Amino acid sequence: MTLDLSPADRAKFATARRAVDFVEDGMRLGLGTGSTAAWMVRCLAARIRDEGLNITTVATSTRTAEQARSLGIKVVTLDEAKWLDLTIDGADEFDADLNLIKGGGGAHLQEKIVATASDRMVVIADPSKEVETLGAFPLPLEVLAFGLNASRTLVEQALTSLDVAGREAVLRMNGDQPYRTDEGNCILDLHLRRIGDPRQLSMVMNQIPGVVENGLFIDICDAVVIGHADGRTETRDIATGSIDERQIDLDAAFATLGN
């Protein structure tokens, strides 16, 4: 029963359930990372099982790969899949142009590679992720451990000449050790508060030696599905400007999960 879920989880489930409607038989699909993406993987597994769909997936993290495989979903590498029809992933923030901040879960490097190797990227989010201006959520930078402090100094120097409201770069920790990504790199979380020019910031950050990838997704996302705790969903498509509203029967949908 979805009644046992928190309002936040009901909203995540609603957006996830609506987003898997865009999956078609035979697709090669990118699977995002995070709590909303985890709901999407459960919904996808239910559709594959109930409708006998032939779906090949590429995961954006070991976490997601393990979850998908445990639910019987076929997972291959991106090189094996070659190219993807669709990627469905969460986000930490999105703006009116569907530019995103991602990487709260530390997976934005693989997420960006997978999303840009897809014909289409659909973001799944609850209304709290929508912002007028990106930057309240700290922007993650994946950075090589080698020369980390030098890279951090260069990042903070570069930020002084950019249109941002803060420039603190905080090393993400896992207990008393630096957090390590799937690639063994570290993450600097940039507390910028407001990002005036996300495109410029993204380009400047990726020029700094040691920075592997930043969490800004500019012109990558094609549509966002916003889910609400009462089962309402709204899908906005950036290319067509269309808005599609659907009501999900959360209890009925939850009963199909069976996992």
Ligand X SMILES: O=C(CO)[C@H](O)[C@H](O)COP(=O)(O)O
Annotated binding site: 33-36, 89-92, 102-105, 129
Give the shortest CB-107-to-ligand X separation in angstroms. Answer: 4
108 near ligand X (CB under 6 A): yes
98-106, 141-149, 156-164, 229-237 -> range binding ligand X (CB under 6 A) = 98-106
Beta strand spans in 13-145 (E): 28-31, 56-59, 74-75, 86-89, 93-94, 100-101, 121-125, 139-143
186 near ligand X (CB under 6 A): no
Single-letter amino acid, residue 31: L
31-39, 154-162, 175-183, 243-251 -> range binding ligand X (CB under 6 A) = 31-39
Instruction: Please report, to the nearest 10 degrees, the dihedral formed by the alpha carbons of residues 32, 236, 6, 102 taken in order.
Output: 40
Report the alpha-carbon distance of residue 247 to residue 14 in Å, rounded: 9
170 - beta bridge partners? 189
Report the alpha-carbon distance of residue 117 to residue 127 in Å, rounded: 27
CB 57 within 8 Å of CB 31 = yes
Give the shortest CB-143-to-ligand X separation in angstroms. Answer: 15
Single-letter amino acid, residue 200: Q
231 near ligand X (CB under 6 A): no
106 near ligand X (CB under 6 A): yes
Residue closer to ligand X by CB (options 101, 159) is: 101
93 near ligand X (CB under 6 A): no
CB 82 within 8 Å of CB 53 = no
Report the alpha-carbon distance of residue 167 to residue 39 in Å, rounded: 34
Give the shortest CB-128-to-ligand X separation in angstroms. Answer: 9
To the query of whether residue 111 is one of the catalytic residues in this protein, the response is: yes
Q: Which of 107, 134, 154, 226 binds ligand X (CB under 6 A)?
A: 107
Q: Which of 93, 111, 142, 213 is catalytic?
A: 111
105 near ligand X (CB under 6 A): yes
Strands 121-125 and 86-89: parallel
Q: Which of 92, 93, 142, 222 binds ligand X (CB under 6 A)?
A: 92
Q: Which of 24, 35, 166, 174 binds ligand X (CB under 6 A)?
A: 35
Owner of token pair 């109930």: 50
Report the alpha-carbon distance of residue 79 to residue 114 in Å, rounded: 10
30 near ligand X (CB under 6 A): no
138 near ligand X (CB under 6 A): no
What are the catalytic residues? 111
Footprint of ligand X (CB under 6 A): 32-37, 89-92, 102-108, 111
